[in-house]
């Protein structure tokens, strides 16, 4: 196990590196929470082994398996080409303006550096920085000129952001001031897939089985995304009741825990979800445990010291408060900027 972790930590693929970090983080968190941990215990009816068996006072409590929700190889390539555009613009000399950029679409071919710089430089050279500053101060960014550049599948929009007079003419300053990209975000689909992939990997275990997920994609996920992944996507129905229209919100039966035929993936007792947990954010992020109300083996909320959510028929989701991760780990809440 140590040799495996060592190799993964040295990987140039951030996803592999972060998966190793997450396993070690969970191990440390469990120990600080007062558990003992058995690494890669044997499963009952499959040769595969979960990451941890978690024990309290000599009694086995649950199994824990770690995984990531991250970007695909294709998305990694897209991001790399997107960052090439940022690098191209950041190598420009722009004495009077910062540059704002929106990336609408990314091509399969590398961006032509010389042509992009020439296009942007030509546009900036036509501008009077004092006049642009006046427009910016009166009406904001939307009043500034925006220029579209399209070629070979690329579509970017650039616009000038005027520098204050004292900041003009200085060299060595990166021009990009604002960068945005446009993407269709569906984190709930990836969360659902990650749980489904782990649900039957170890057969039917003899204890509650928790899947720990670190969502490391730059866009993260919120509570609604997680609800959609676990219980189903929202759907809106409109019915006529006399002369009145009554709107009703229901969940589609397409969650990883509830499908068209009712409860499913019941071997998973819960998911422990962290959003954008990186080494430098271990004091900022606290994983939340979501309980599966239909699991074969339920994990008692009293066992787990961190925040939890459980399905309750009266209030839908019941929230259980708990300690923050920084408290368990003995860190200052503003670590690493302030050390305890």
Note the pLDDT tens digit of each residue in 261-296.
999 999 999 999 999 999 999 999 999 999 999 999
Count of CA atoms in the C-beta half-sphere (13 A) of 53:
15
Tell me the backbone φ, ψ of residue 19, rounded to 5 degrees. -65, -40
pLDDT of residue 241: 63
pLDDT higher at 66 or 75: 66
Q: Which of 119-133, 158-172, 201-215, 322-336 has the lowest mean pLDDT?
A: 158-172
Confidence of residue 140 (pLDDT cuts 50, 70, 90): confident
**């024990």: which residue's tokens?**
55
Distance CA(138)–CA(182), nearest Å, equals 27
Per-residue pLDDT at 91 exceeds 70:
yes
Kindly tell me the sign of the dihedral angle through the C-alpha atoms of 215, 218, 223, 225: negative
280: left (phi over 0), alpha (psi -120 to 50) or beta: alpha
pLDDT of residue 28: 97
Per-residue pLDDT at 67 exceeds 80:
yes
Whole-Å CA distances, 14 to 17, 22, 85, 185, 278: 5, 12, 21, 21, 11
The DSSP annotation for 289-300 comes to: EEE-TT-SSPPP
Per-residue pLDDT at 339 exceeds 80:
no
Above pLDDT 90, what percent of the chain?
Answer: 65
Give, as one character, the DSSP assignment of residue 254. -
Per-residue pLDDT at 77 exceeds 60:
yes
pLDDT of residue 234: 77
For helices 73-90 and 113-125, angle between their N-to-C axes, nearest 10 degrees: 40
Question: Is omega for the bond preceding 336 within 30 degrees of 0, making it cis?
Answer: yes
Distance CA(277)–CA(23), nearest Å, equals 12
Confidence of residue 174 (pLDDT cuts 50, 70, 90): confident
Q: Are 298 and 209 in contact, with CB atoms under 8 Å apart?
A: no
Distance CA(239)–CA(246), nearest Å, equals 5
Confidence of residue 3 (pLDDT cuts 50, 70, 90): confident
pLDDT of residue 340: 60
- The overall average pLDDT reported for the chain is 89
First to last CA, the chain: 31
Give the global pTM. 0.73
Confidence of residue 217 (pLDDT cuts 50, 70, 90): confident
């Amino acid at each position: 196990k140590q040799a495996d972790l060592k190799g993964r930590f040295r990987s140039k693929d951030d996803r592999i590196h972060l998966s190793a970090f997450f396993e070690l983080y969970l191990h440390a968190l469990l120990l600080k929470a007062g558990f003992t941990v058995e690494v890669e215990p044997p499963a009952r009816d499959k040769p595969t082994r979960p990451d941890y068996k978690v024990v309290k006072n000599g009694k086995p409590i649950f199994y824990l398996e770690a995984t990531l929700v991250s970007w695909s190889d294709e998305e990694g390539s897209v991001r790399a080409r997107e960052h090439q555009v940022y690098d191209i613009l950041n190598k420009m000399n722009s004495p009077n303006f910062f540059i704002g950029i929106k990336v609408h679409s990314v091509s399969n071919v590398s961006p032509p550096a010389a042509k992009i710089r020439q296009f942007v430089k030509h546009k900036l050279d036509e501008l009077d920085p004092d006049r642009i500053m006046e427009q910016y101060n009166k009406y904001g960014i939307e009043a500034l000129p925006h220029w579209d550049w399209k070629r070979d599948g690329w579509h970017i929009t650039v616009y000038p952001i005027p520098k204050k007079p004292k900041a003009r003419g200085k060299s060595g300053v990166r021009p990009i001031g604002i960068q945005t990209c446009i993407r269709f975000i569906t984190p709930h689909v990836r969360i659902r897939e990650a749980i489904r992939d782990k649900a039957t990997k170890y057969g039917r275990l003899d204890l509650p089985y928790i899947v720990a997920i670190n969502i490391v994609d730059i866009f993260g996920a919120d509570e609604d995304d997680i609800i959609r992944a676990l219980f189903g996507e929202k759907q809106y129905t409109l019915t006529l009741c006399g002369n009145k229209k009554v709107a009703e919100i229901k969940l589609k039966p397409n969650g990883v825990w509830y499908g068209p035929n009712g409860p499913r993936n019941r071997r998973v007792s819960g998911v422990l979800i962290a959003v954008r947990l990186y080494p430098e954010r271990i004091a900022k992020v606290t994983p939340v445990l979501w309980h599966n109300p239909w699991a074969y083996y339920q994990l008692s909320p009293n066992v787990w010291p961190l925040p939890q959510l459980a399905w309750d028929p009266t209030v839908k989701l019941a929230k259980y408060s708990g300690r923050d991760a920084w408290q368990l780990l003995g860190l200052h809440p503003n670590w690493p900027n302030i050390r305890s």
